[in-house]
Structure 1
Amino acid sequence: YFKAFTKQFTTGENYQAGADRELQTLRQMMIDFLQNHSQEVRPPACPPLDPVLPSDLPSLFDKNSHHYTAIVFESNSSYVGREVILDLIQYENIVVRRALNFDKPFLEKLGVTSVPSCYLIQPNGSHGLINNLKPLRSFFSSYLKSLPGVRKKLLLPLQLPAPENKEESTEIKVWKEFDK
C-alpha cells in the first residue's frame, strides 16, 4: 500500500495477511486502509466511508434534493455499505451513505427488520425500504445503478502536454537501430 499524497519517498506498507490471502480479505483490508486515512490526506475522490451519526439520520429525510440518497443500514462489522459506496463513486445523481443498526426504534419506524438493508430516498422526498433485494453488495449496487437518472459520470478529458514550439526545435532526432 502507498499512502495518498505523501511528500516523502516510501517503499509502501507490506500486506500482512498471514495465510489468509482471499480476495474478500484483501478487499476489506483496502477499505479499512481508505477509511482510516486522516481527513487531511484522504484522496479527494474518496467519499466518506464512516457511518452517518444517529443524530444526523433524520436530516437526510428532511430535505428534497436533485439526487437519490441510499442509506445502507448494517452492523458495525459489515463491509456491504462501504463496498456499495465505493461501487457507486463513479455515478452521478445518487449519494450512498451507511448507518449502523444501533437505533432500534428508528429502524423499526422505517421498517428495517434485518441488516444489511437498503433504504432509498427519492429526489422528490418520498422514501422507502427496498424489499425485493437479497442483502448482498452486488444486488444493492446493481439496483441503485439502474435507477432513472443515475448514470456514470463523464470523465474530464485528459490534459495533454502543450506541443513544443516547432521553431525552437530544429534538432533532428535520429532513430536508433534495435537488434532483437
Structure 2
Amino acid sequence: MSNVITLHEGEPDEETLTMNNGLTDVFLGTLVLSGSLLARREEEKRLIVWLAERDQAAVGLGMVGFDLAELPWDSRTFEQDRAFLLRAIDGAKGKLGWEYLDWTPSEERLFPALEQFSRMVNRLRACDIQPEALRQWLLAAGEDDPIRRGFPTCPVHHTLLTVFGCLLCHG
C-alpha cells in the first residue's frame, strides 16, 4: 500500500508524491517535528496539527494521502503560511529536532520526498486552496481537541498533539 500526495485533485501523475507506508511515517514524522518546533502563529500550528492527523497508526496504513489544496489554509495568511511550510520542510532536511527521535531517518529515501513536496508547495497558489477546508476542519473539532486547548505538545518529542496523541509516540 502507498500514500499519494497531490497538489490538487486531478493533478497529472508527474506532479504527485507517492510513498510507501514506512516512508510516509518518516516523512510526516520529521516534517511534523520540524514544523512543531518552528510554529509560532496559530495558522502555522493548525497546518502542522492537520499533517500530524495523517497518523497511519490511528487512521490506517495507506489511508493518509491528501491534496495540498485541502490543508486548512487561511486565505488571509496563505503566503505567510506557505512560507512557513517551506521552512518546516527545510528544517526537516536540516535534521531539526532529530535528536528527539529514537531512530535515524534514511536521508537517501526521505530527502527526495521532502524535495518533491517542497516543489509542490512552491507551486501551490491561493486560488488552488479549498476555501471551506479550514472552516469544516475547525467545526469538526471537538471541545477536547488539542487545537481548542492551546496546542499542547508532547513532552518527549516536542511535537504538537492531535486528537490521536503524539504522531511520533505512535510510530
Point out the structure with the larger helix share: 2
Q: Which has the larger radius of gyration?
A: 1
Pairwise same-fold verdict (TM > 0.5): no
Point out the structure with the larger strand share: 1
- Normalising by structure 2, what TM-score? 0.23
